[in-house]
Structure 1
């Protein structure tokens, strides 16, 4: 009798029986499904990465574009009326494959520029002044802030788009979202050959030629270059430069701080984002 009771004890069921039982009654809630996955993981049928992917794929249906978008102040955009000689340094320094192109304001998105679309024109025209990027813009995809990520991911796949401009309730640009942003919610951080450099606040381009994030702490800048900038009034290099300029600078404006020359690579109507820097030769 004791053997019969033991064989019928639910705690003695194999993981296969547990899974079979779960599927026989069909999971009716997410909790049921997660419990099923937990059993599979416990018995080494699937690993932590697989569970994370399944959970991520389920969670994006509860998330909206506003939750993961690149916010408006951090968007890197190109102005349609800028000469190519000014646009190329931005493209080279930031290293993105796609850029929103705007008209007079950030709310006037004309289209998306693919960096690769520039290459044939650079080869074709000897004079860059003959190139008008408006001629090669792709249509911009506009989505509301409330767009569900699972729906947006399906739209990206079906329409073969990789980027969308997120629009607020007033029709203005609220931010930017890419297919990679959504996939990272499912599989985790996706790193490519450029990510390591992009995460660095200071990046060496060549001898005495550096790209510096404006939010680089002054203390870190001083440590890197053996400089002696004071951090009593400002915390970041961008703050120091705002004081040096005396106004919010535009792209390509240049100023000098002690023995260093800074050129604004990317800025918007609120703050400086990216700088090009070189150390001046001692006279």
Structure 2
């Protein structure tokens, strides 16, 4: 892990060879010529902007965010990382993929501070699912490398490193060598283009879907008035707040913060909100469980 962190300095300071620009792809051509000089200038400018204020300044997506922000500004905290031990059994592993909705998970030995690599769902399926193998689960041959980066690394440097090494997930390592967070290439690109919908996000015409009676899977941006019309039940009558426009806003009012993935938030009227997907800045998807009296 130490080599990976030290290597980030080289990626930060190395001057690109113009003859190799085309080989590094689109991002390399955009950033390769001046990544080092501009990033150093931004670091000096950041002295007047405390780290805690940088995410607010970069609320709007744009290319400048890649130089202005650092890994610590966008990474998922350690407590919210979904990872699996290397000795996990097959049924529990499949269930973890199913519940999280992720297609790749970090694998560790004993604790998350001892990461071993990255497991892709497609690798697991090809080895143990589609071909009918019945032998005992062994994750070691399936693990792919992870990047290990310091929290102070500029996003533009990490994005170049991910592109060069073809690794789309990085663990953030603290000064003691322990895992402090996780960041994916999607987290970086969202700072430029805004939120990226994936295959688990419902489309605009279906902001929610009925999983079973009384249980809905919904996007956090679902308009609250439309959802209340769907369920025939008001979720705001017991609240003093008047300006709540979305389901995510309702949950934020109930908690006073952005809840972590996996939290279950109780509503005074008896409903429950299970946070399915969230990052440190916003809720993305949630499961709404209505009071049993409404559908029993």
Shorter chain as denominator, the TM-score bin is 0.5 to 0.7
Task: Indicate which of 192, 199, 222 corresponds to 2:197.
Answer: 192
Q: Which residue of 2 aligns with 1:163?
A: 169
Q: What's the counterpart of residue 146 of structure 2? A: 140
Task: Provide TM-score, normalisation by structure 1.
Answer: 0.53
Q: CA RMSD in A?
A: 4.9
The structure-2 alpha-carbon separation of the partners of 1:110 and 1:158, relative to structure 1 and needing over 3 Å to count, comes to same
CA distances 1:176-207 after superposition (whole Å, capped 9, x unpaired): 11112112222x22423435349xxx975743
Q: 1:176, 1:142 → 2: CA distance?
A: 9
Q: Does 1:61 align with 2:87?
A: no
Runs of at least 5 residues in structure 1 that lack an aligned partner in the other structure = 1-29, 31-51, 214-220, 241-257, 267-272
Seen in structure 2, the aligned counterparts of structure 1 residues 80 and 276 have a Cα distance that, compared at 3 Å, is farther
Aligned equivalent of 2:93: 87
Structure 1 residues 1-283: aligned runs within 5 Å: 56=63, 58-120=64-126, 121-127=128-134, 130-186=136-192, 188-194=193-199, 196-197=201-202, 206-208=211-213, 235=254, 238=264
TM-superposed deviation, 1:145 = 0.7
- CA distance, structure 1, for counterparts of residue 217 and residue 95 of structure 2: 11
Mapped contact 2:150–2:172 kept (Cα < 8 A): yes
> C-alpha separation between the residues in 2 aligned to 1:189 and 1:175?
21
Corresponding residue number in structure 2 for 1:3: none
Partners in 2 of 1:125 and 1:142 — Cα distance?
Answer: 35
Distance verdict in 2 for CA 1:135–1:211, change over 3 Å = farther
For 1:274 and 1:135, locate their aligned partners in 2 and report how far apart those are by CA, in whole Å: 35
8 Å CA contact 1:60–1:185 kept in 2: the answer is: yes
Q: What SS is found at the alignment partner of 2:112? A: coil
How many angstroms does 1:148 deviate by? Answer: 1.4
Separation of aligned partners in 1, 2:288 and 2:87: 22
Q: Report which of the two structures shows the higher radius of gyration computed on alpha carbons.
A: 1
Instruction: Indicate how the Cα distance of structure 1 residues 86 and 227 shifts in structure 2: closer, same or farther if over 3 A, else same.
Output: farther
**Does structure 2 conserve the Cα–Cα contact (< 8 Å) formed by 1:89 and 1:265?**
no
**Alpha carbons of 1:77 and 1:276: their partners in 2 closer, same or farther (altered >3 Å)?**
farther
Quickly say closer, same or farther: Cα 1:275–1:184, change in 2 above 3 A: closer
Equivalent residues, number = 208
Give the unaligned 5+ runs of structure 2: 1-37, 39-59, 220-226, 240-253, 256-262, 278-284
CA–CA separation in structure 2 for the residues paired with 1:212 and 1:81:
34
TM-score, normalization: structure 2?
A: 0.51
